[in-house]
Amino acid sequence: MLLSDIIIQIAIGIVPLGVAYLAFRSATDANHKTQQTTILQVERQAELERSKVDAEAFLRAKTIYEDALNQMEKQLHRIQDQAKQVSTDLAHEQSSSTAMREQIRRLQAQIRALERTVFALRAQLLAAGLSPAPTSELTGPYRVPQRQE
């Protein structure tokens, strides 16, 4: 055999080896890319799951917050209503108190006027030489000193 035949046979034998190497290299690259794609998909899926969990937690927290806010608003309205009622009651009590003080002042003025009238009438009776009626328990604790002659 000739050297050229051997070279041709070696060349023919190298071509399938080259093709096999290229196929191996392509398969390895494809496998590496598939692994990277799989890892990215797993990471995306994990991120999606975390997002779902975060979204559910957010919705629960939002619901709890809104319920608490509604309860606080209801309580605030009750307190405001109670404050209005207390304010109304206070105004009524102050008005009643003012009216009663005024009535007490009028009654005290009437009592002073009656005391002056009684004193003046007793003085007139004594000046006329008459003896005033004896004081009794029905007329109160006021005792008029009797005139000594």
Q: What is the pLDDT of residues 137-146, one digit of tens each?
A: 545 555 555 6
Chain-wide mean pLDDT for the chain? 86
Contacts of 9 (CB under 8 A, 6+ apart): none
The mean-pLDDT minimum among 54-58, 107-111, 132-136 falls in 132-136
Look at residue 146 in the predicted model and tell me its pLDDT.
Answer: 60
CA-CA distance, 133 to 36, in Å (whole number)? 126
CA-CA distance, 81 to 120, in Å (whole number)? 58
Q: What mean pLDDT is predicted for residues 4-21? A: 81
Torsion angle, CA of 127/142/110/92, rounded to 10 degrees? 180
Torsion angle, CA of 83/88/92/97, rounded to 10 degrees? 30
pLDDT higher at 36 or 12: 36
Look at residue 60 in the predicted model and tell me its pLDDT.
Answer: 94
